[in-house]
Amino acid sequence: LGAAYRTPLAAVMFVAETTGRAEFVIPALIATAISQALMGDRSVSVGQRGERQGQLERRLDEPASFVMIELEPLKPETTLLEVIDKYGDRPISPAIAVCGDEYVGLLVLHDVAMNILEHGPEACAGDSMREFPAVKETSPALEAALLMNEHDTAAVAVVNEKNIPVGIVSAMSLAGLNSSAIEAATHKGD
């Protein structure tokens, strides 16, 4: 009972109370005490965690590729009107990576209207993008969160080993939320 698992004492007591049979409680408590003394902080199980973590803490430990939104990058010559046609209704992400031969920046969708007014209808993604750093797809998602905080943005591009964008990490994707889940929750009472 004790060597491979950390005995959940609450579960032992629950079973004892619900079944009305307490004869295994004392041996379980003794096995737990011995296993805790012998094992210390280690566990035989690879998946055993030393402490509980919330969903966000677990997601921040995952690679950026696990929490990213897969999104095809824009070419620098893509016009902002084309961006509006494609993403204007329901954007999947608050920003889209801009890529020539490799990652060059991030087009923040919030800036699109202002850039069209400023540069006219011919404005391109390359003219309107922001030069934010990207995070590697194998880096922990925490690195993406730190970059978003440092640059005061809601999204960061994720690049592969060739510096080609493969997706976007946003505040929503870090939290495990997507636009369809939010929309479903919003229209639940309709």
Statement: residue 13 has pLDDT above 80: no
**What tens digit of pLDDT does each residue of 78-135 get?**
999 998 888 877 777 888 889 988 999 999 888 888 999 998 889 999 989 999 999 9
Domains and CATH numbers, the chain: 1-50 (no CATH), 58-182 (3.10.580.10)
Q: Please tell me which residue, 63 or 55, carries the higher pLDDT value.
A: 63
Contacts of 75 (CB under 8 A, 6+ apart): 98, 99, 100, 125, 126
**What tens digit of pLDDT does each residue of 138-166 get?**
999 999 999 999 998 889 999 999 999 99
Which uninterrupted H or E stretch holds 77? none
Q: Identify whether the C-beta of residue 77 lies closer than 8 Å to the C-beta of residue 124.
A: yes
SS3 label, residue 185: helix
**What tens digit of pLDDT does each residue of 14-60 get?**
777 777 777 767 777 777 777 777 766 665 555 555 566 677 778 88
Cα distance between residue 189 and residue 104, in whole Å: 43
Q: What is the pLDDT of residue 186?
A: 47
Per residue in 117-129, is it b (16+ CB within 10 Å) or e — as a string? Answer: eeeeeebbbbebb
Q: What is the pLDDT of residue 121?
A: 85
Q: What is the pLDDT of residue 103?
A: 93
Contacts of 83 (CB under 8 A, 6+ apart): 74, 96, 107, 109, 112, 125
